[in-house]
Amino acid sequence: MKRLLIFIIAIAMTPLSVVAFDGFDYDTYGGGDDYGYGESVDNMNNYTIDTNSDGNDVNSCAITNVTINGDAAPVAVGNFDISGIMLGMNFDEVQMVVRENGLYANRPKDAVVYSMHPDWKYSLDYECRQQNVFVPEKLNQCINSLARNRGVLYASELHLVRAITGETIDVYFTSNATDNVVWKIVYKNDVDETEGDAEKFANQRDKKIMAWWHNVIEKYGAPNSDSDKWASSDNAYDPMMRAYYGELELVDCGRDAEDSSLNIEQSNENFAAKPYAF
């Protein structure tokens, strides 16, 4: 992959709406089927609640070593944007950019994903079971109700699509503990796909990749870490961007790590332990 990217770089550098919840004003689960939002989640459109029932944070940042190339300088990756969306934007700012650009729209189903940090789910699970809520469906309702009321259920993902090209942008947000801002943006297109096994399709794929990579270099400049990364520093916790075939991943792992640490701290501080007496 690196050899092909280096080859492409050389050529490229030659001249050439979120659904609003209804009010929720109680702190303990009172049963019912509305999650505390005023109506059943099954009846709402274009969002889903995913609270990591298995405890695995699939959207956490995979920290990798990063080293700026010897002949390169640091890049202000924190100023990069993907279709106008930047790291550190809040949810409303992202939605405003999407509307103003007019290129992308929320995907038709489950465009917004609400979730909570796994550590909070464990704490609220314990609290709900102390209220004798054990049936899985009711237990999830109780957990989500408490999470919403306490501000730990948040818009964690926004999924966008460009209908005419099939391009997608997936935007990931930190929790309310760190102001619910963008920490990762993933862009994908179809340049790496082929329509069949014939030689012409392989030729077309190579040309699509070359044209796309040329546009990437034109917008962001040449990578300064290996042949496929743009780095702010030698610290992988600082903003960085990585390119794959038909994919860009713009991340701020430091922001994600800070958010996770604060959630663990706050969930520990607010754990509703039994009132033991000894």
Amino acid symbol at 84: G
Q: What is the pLDDT of residue 24?
A: 30
Q: Which residues of the chain have pLDDT under 70?
A: 1-47, 51-59, 63
Contact 78, 87 (CB under 8 A): yes
Give CA–CA dist 143/120, Å, rounded: 9
Q: Encoding tokens for residue 274?
A: 């039994």
Domain ranges of the chain: 2-17+47-59+66-269
Helices (H), the chain: 2-12, 91-101, 118-129, 136-149, 199-220, 253-269
The alpha-helical segments, DSSP class H, found in 69-198 are 91-101, 118-129, 136-149
pTM exceeds cut of 0.75: yes
Neighbour-count burial for 160-189, b at 16+ CB within 10 Å, e otherwise: bbeeeeebbbbbbbbbbbbebbbbbbbbbb
HSE of 238 in the Cβ direction (CA atoms, 13 Å)? 16
Spatial CA neighbour of 48 closest among 187, 159, 169: 159
Which residues have a Cβ under 8 Å from the Cβ of 113 and sit 6 or more positions away?
47, 48, 49, 50, 155, 156, 157, 158, 159
Q: Are strands 47-49 and 112-115 parallel, antiparallel or unpaired?
A: parallel
Q: How far apart are CA 276 and CA 29, in angstroms?
A: 23
